[in-house]
Structure 1
């Protein structure tokens, strides 16, 4: 049977139909202009989509907050533009130039979203090293895809179709060299941007408070989100590949550490170690212009404890904040700046754990603050209690300080926790108090006591300083009661107390000046006065008997990173090889401060005046070599994975 004349198209009709469906061929100038405009619009659209996903809650308020910080907006836009441009010139297709980067960044942004939702941690470059572990963790959860996930897929698909249909500008094959030149220029721009901005961790950290209106930057994931996902992820590359110290090699680090063989705590000397870092605790009575004003001594209880302890001075890295620096320096021995602890990390906590100790502690603050809940686990703590779900249950109207328990409740809980511990193994405990936290009211006497009279100082200074001293006096009283609870304990116990940093007193620390204390950082005396805090190590009779020693007196002036090694000295323990190398460095260079100030040892521990005289910004000879070796060993130790997690 013959075919119908209209049942099928002729070849010419098919060609005609294809020509009608084919995109209209435009003049080269128009074609290129349309391609550039559409690609630019696609880049902006992709950037906005990524920013919206990166807010974590897809809110317009958070999204618009990026627009109010141009630096953050541009630092997130530039990598997207460079990546799209690179892919375009590599493929010579606008739609591929958009699609490939879009899929890659979209997936990464949602990996970050799900990781924060399920684990509380942001997605960082170092996660690629543990991708199998991460996939296993994700597999334990049921993922709930938000509507934005499907909206994003639809937008990327629509953008790809539009570019495929109308963005037809391509480089002729005979001008391949132009594509190569463009690719080279984009790579050079990328390297330049990395050197200036994305690899600059100091710049990233300095922007912590740039976008705080709707983000809680004290939560690691929200601090990450506040700067935009793309910028934060690129900066995490710098964190995953930190600059190696001068002269570094793994062989060099291993040689340095191998000179000090690992040493266990002797079986018969495994005393319990209980350390407490005291929020903003500092002894202002060391300044004669302050102590001469006292109408009553807020440090009486603390000084009584010092008289029966081994006590010295820390030169901290911060003032009025940055609690975490002293805290983690003590727990790890790492100097400033501290790593971000994205994974399990070598620490002295882990050393105690491997020695058969229980490792525990508490802090009556929020678990998310400084990401303590996650990071303490990575340091080797088996249990750690926070305000959330624990101390909040102990709160009453009488013991609450801005929603946190006071030191009386805090130390009572610590004493009770000791009583109910597992006595079958020794304990390493580290806790952080809250009571001394600023601000200190400047219009009323919170503690109802006067320690400094009003004469000669402003109203604000009178109230602020007396409120700080009232808190200190209360802490000293609680310390005395806490120590008394261990005096007759048959279990051997060594207690450690230290302040994290000095308090901020007045704008620009002006209240120190009103009290006649030099805190000008441009002078050695001002620097010393502003950054020093006390530490003390107290040993009960049972521990003295076990250790066969009783250290009482003046200890060295040191950086917080050395404090654990001083504690081991008091116990007569050698410790891990990293600590033994620390001990040798401490003998030459006892202070390495974040602002580049050093204290070079000259025999025994210096007095305050001697310590001020020995402060320096320059190093040479043995001190310089000790610092370089320390940096090499530290880089190696904190970059390797622990043997036990």
Structure 2
């Protein structure tokens, strides 16, 4: 009996000693994870390389540490958790660097809606990464390291099941509450004594406070939600301009409705805004056409990418600035009924068609475009045999396809929305044989090797696309049917080296520069210059064609007209009228009535 009790006591001591050793191992592992997290963010984030700031350092390291701790709690293998956490953190920083380079903005919470887009379009996004073979080899090497860590890490080093569950639950709750800004987390990242972060300038702020801290701060503040509209502001404006609103609403459409063709040209802008480059030097056909119609600079809500932001504005008339928490409008905003341009034209008897020689799933267009009123759509599958210029279907081939469709159309008036792809980025590639189109178009002086490569690729496609525009407009406007052509660029391309080498005439930043638009017709049109924002293009289009306007579209057109007459004293007020009118119409999902209130009729 005595021997048995001694053995039991000895076993208890051994178990206690083993638990103590495991506790020490776990504590040591957690401490090492914390140190690795700090070192990792300091190494990866240039924003932390200046003066040593412990407050910024721990706020940036905390999200990484919690991720590694979660993996450790789920698997119980410290080395594997460190490798996985560090690898994922490095990948996020690399993706953020690519986005900052091409779009001049960091990864943001709204980008999470695109995860399935990235998975289903890896080939497309891989173009932006460069050195794809090296990346593949790196991924294979990392997978081998993970396998080795999984096999070699000793099982006795793993914490017990209860400890692992506690670590996993604790870290998961901390991650969720951290990014939601619950409790003391909000004070830690947004309180009076914490980091200063201005939500309206994400790129400047993450470069100041660090990427991880900035991402947490944006997540705490940003939700996909509609801001509350100031209805009284809209109603007061509508009351002061009741006569103008009624005139637009009751305007009778012309007896002959024109065919309307809208071309959204990928990354089109006139390099004449660059130092050492003349306007129309690389786009002579655009310049010739613009001189015969309505033209001007165009302010768009994006740079380097994010095409659907400009696209959404020109299809609805709603300014993206009215919805500051929504980064990608085809996710969470345009997924239901809206009184868009295609829907208004459909009600007048138009046949509405979309042409885009790329995947229908990209940017969620397959689901959204029918909601926005498109009856017919032609995507990449319809252009299987079309000629390409570089990676994508050429503008020449796309325009030929559109003309063939218009020639085969019935007698109904046609509305065609054409979204080009030829000059899509990245623009740091070899232009190949297409560079021959630059013969007679010398590049400006002062370019570095990287800037020369960027500008050669971009301008080759720009000149090629301009020739396609000239041919398209000539044939389109030669048709006997009344036709209106609206052509515009969705955003400037991301040419960071070329832009830095040359600079802009106004010494502004690339994100502050404008693209251009033109509106021409084969019926008499008074040439004039009007500088607009892309959300004002629908109003210009309806005014030019003499079509009735209602709801927000009428309100926006009257606000634009009032701004032209009195923008020195009340310009900002008119902008707020448009923003709040858009919020009001979207939130109530009804067209605004002539009094600036939600209409009673159902969509």
TM-score of the pair, normalised by structure 2: 0.58
The corresponding residue for 2:366 is 373
Deviations 1:328-379 (A, max 9, x none): 2111112234644422142222222333322221222333433333332332
Unaligned runs of 5+ in 1: 1-32, 53-59, 72-111, 121-160, 167-185, 209-226, 545-549, 590-600, 604-618
Is 1:630 matched up with 2:551? no
CA distance in 2, matches of 1:455, 1:588: 41
Q: What is the 5 A alignment of 1:128-207?
A: 188-189=183-184
Following the alignment from structure 1 to structure 2, what is the Cα–Cα distance between the partners of residues 586 and 386?
A: 35
Hey, what does 2:345 align to over in structure 1?
352
Structure 1 residues 491 and 520: alpha-carbon distance in aligned structure 2, compared to 1, 3 A threshold: same
Closer, same or farther: CA 487–348 of 1 in aligned 2, 3 Å: closer
The 3-state SS of whatever aligns with 2:531 is strand
Q: Secondary structure at the match of 2:312?
A: helix
Q: Which residue pairs with 1:329 in the alignment?
A: 313
Q: Cα–Cα, structure 1 residues 573 and 510, in superposed 2: closer, same or farther, change >3 Å?
A: same
Is the 1:310–1:554 contact (alpha carbons within 8 Å) kept by the matching residues of 2? Answer: yes
Cross-structure match for 1:243: 227
Q: Does 1:270 align with 2:257?
A: yes
Q: Distance in 1 between matches of 2:576 and 2:498?
A: 34
Q: Does residue 534 of structure 1 match 2:526?
A: no
2 CA distance for matches of 1:455 and 1:632?
Answer: 44
Distance 1:68-1:298 versus aligned 2 partners, 3 A rule: closer
The CA deviation at 1:626 is: 1.4
**What secondary structure, in the 3-state scheme, does the structure 1 residue paired with 2:459 have?**
helix
What secondary structure does 1:381 align onto?
coil
Runs of 5+ in structure 2 lacking a partner? 1-22, 31-65, 76-81, 94-111, 121-160, 167-180, 207-211, 591-600
1:93-114 alpha-carbon deviations (Å, 9 max, x no partner): xxxxxxxxxxxxxxxxxxx99x
Contact 1:194 1:200 in 2 (8 A): no
Secondary structure, counterpart of 1:290 in structure 2: coil
Q: Check whether the contact 2:448–2:498 (CA below 8 A) recurs between aligned residues.
A: no
Match of 2:37 in 1: none
Kept after mapping to 2: 8 A contact 1:200/1:238: no
Q: Distance in 1 between matches of 2:389 and 2:205?
A: 30
Q: Which has the higher helix share?
A: 2
Could you tell me which residue of structure 1 aligns to residue 526 of structure 2? Answer: 552
Contact 1:271 1:494 in 2 (8 A): yes
The structure 2 residue matched to 1:584, chosen from 558, 566, 576, is: 558
Deviation at 1:277, TM superposition (A): 1.0
The verdict on how the C-alpha distance between 1:116 and 1:503 changes in structure 2, with shifts beyond 3 A counting, is: closer
Where does residue 46 of structure 2 map in the other structure? none
Contact 1:201 1:235 in 2 (8 A): no
- Higher alpha-carbon Rg: 1
User: CA 1:188–1:454 in 2, change beyond 3 Å: closer, same or farther?
Assistant: closer
Are residues 1:301 and 2:285 paired? yes
Task: Tell whether the 8 Å contact from 2:488 to 2:518 is kept in structure 1 after alignment.
Answer: yes
Q: Distance in 2 between matches of 1:536 and 1:478?
A: 15
User: Could you tell me how far 1:635 is from its partner in structure 2?
Assistant: 0.8
Measured after TM superposition, the shift of residue 535 of structure 1 is: 1.2
Measured after TM superposition, the shift of residue 416 of structure 1 is 1.5
Give the secondary-structure state (helix, strand or coil) at the position aligned to 1:390.
helix
Q: CA RMSD in A?
A: 5.1
The corresponding residue for 1:383 is 376
Q: TM-score, normalised by structure 1?
A: 0.55
1:401–1:476 distance in 2 versus 1, CA, 3 Å: closer
Give the equivalent residue in structure 2 for 1:403. Answer: 391
**Quick one: distance in 2 between partners of 1:359 and 1:46?**
53
The structure-2 alpha-carbon separation of the partners of 1:496 and 1:47, relative to structure 1 and needing over 3 Å to count, comes to same
Aligned residue pairs, count: 433
Kindly indicate whether structure 1 or structure 2 has the higher relative contact order, using CA contacts under 8 Å at least 6 residues apart.
2
Determine the structure 2 residue equivalent to 1:394. 385
Q: Secondary structure at the match of 1:350?
A: helix
Asked if the contact 2:274/2:502 (under 8 Å) is kept, the reply is no
After superposition, the Cα gap between the structure-2 partners of 1:502 and 1:252, relative to the gap in structure 1 and judged at 3 Å, is: closer
